[in-house]
Amino acid sequence: MKKNIALLYRGMNSKVGELLANRLIPSISLHSVGAIVFLDHIYPVDLGHDNSPVPTGNYAHPHRGIATFSYVLSGSLSHYDSRGNHATVGAGGLQWMKAGNGIIHDEKPFTRKKDSPVFHSLQFWINLPGGAKQEKPEYMALQAADVPEAQLPDHGGAIRILLGEFGLWASPVPTFNREFIYHVRLNPHSRFSFSPKDDDEVAVFVPAAEVVINGNMIGNSKILLMEEGTKEIVFENDQINVADILIFGGQPYGEPIVMEGPFVMNRFADIATAYRDFFAGSYGTIIIP
């Protein structure tokens, strides 16, 4: 019997540049979780020791109205944008870019010589409040060591606070709608109980190894939307390897949502303006060395 589960979804394959991804949000059944309106799971891919962080520019693209959030599970990722920001992060690191009133960016997966040749990542889009959609773009990169991490009870593993707050810990990444993203590393034969805030929308994503969530076995790149008012989510890892679990969500987004291509706005007229400004060149140009 399923407990507190509103939706279980396996996603749909999509190409992201040359990479294959599982697109989990949006879908016909799931448009958003809190302010999070997009989730791509970039499947593990062997890059063959491609150690160049410099993109070709062929996949550069614009955004307006959202913050992009890229989290690297293995390998490395570089970022270049039209506001002059540039950084690279390794496994366990993340990149946050507030597109605000318009930006163009390009991301390049690669592997350092000390890394495994496998690249594996997630990308979320966070819908900004209407006022923040008109603000100037911002960018932040965190390496793995910069991400707050708390230990779970009974040697159960760790929880990494990628975005938002958890108890005494808080990510330095800005939030707008009490959005949160946590990465739980659940040790073998361990259990962890999570209590959401009363009015939060909450989803769980398990990229690989299967775990038991409120009595149901879930894994292999599936997303689980919890019912409204769920008081407790219990995770159990009966396997002999560490299990990765992403918990995310936040307060319901209270404004209209209009999403088309790389733009997420509050009105159709704003989408038209976003395209017009992009074609007029107001988002700037990426300078790649």
In a domain, 146, yes or no: yes
Is 173 within a domain? Answer: yes
- Domain of 192 in residue numbering reads as 5-279
Q: Label residue 103 by pLDDT band (50, 70, 90).
A: very high
pLDDT one-digit tens code per residue, 36-92: 999 999 999 999 877 899 998 899 999 999 999 999 999 999 999 999 999 999 999
Whether residue 108 lies inside any domain: the answer is: yes
For the chain, what's the residue count?
Answer: 289
pLDDT at residue 1 in the model = 40
pLDDT at 228 over 50: yes
Judge whether residue 6 has pLDDT over 90: no
2 pLDDT higher than 60: no
Domain-embedded: residue 269: yes
Sheet strand arrangement including 216-218: 190-194, 233-237, 211-213, 216-218
Residue 210: pLDDT band by 50, 70, 90 thresholds? Answer: very high
Residue from 135, 89, 133 nearest 109 by CA: 89
In a domain, 289, yes or no: no
- When divided into structural domains, the chain yields a total of 1
User: What pLDDT shows up at residue 115?
Assistant: 74
| Residue 41 within a domain | yes
Does the residue 154 lie in any domain?
A: yes
Burial class (CB in 10 A: 0-12, 13-18, 19+), 231: exposed
Quick check: 157 pLDDT over 90? yes
- CATH number assigned to the domain comprising residue 30: 2.60.120.10
Burial class (CB in 10 A: 0-12, 13-18, 19+), 275: middle
- Asked, for residue 181, whether it belongs to a domain, the answer is yes
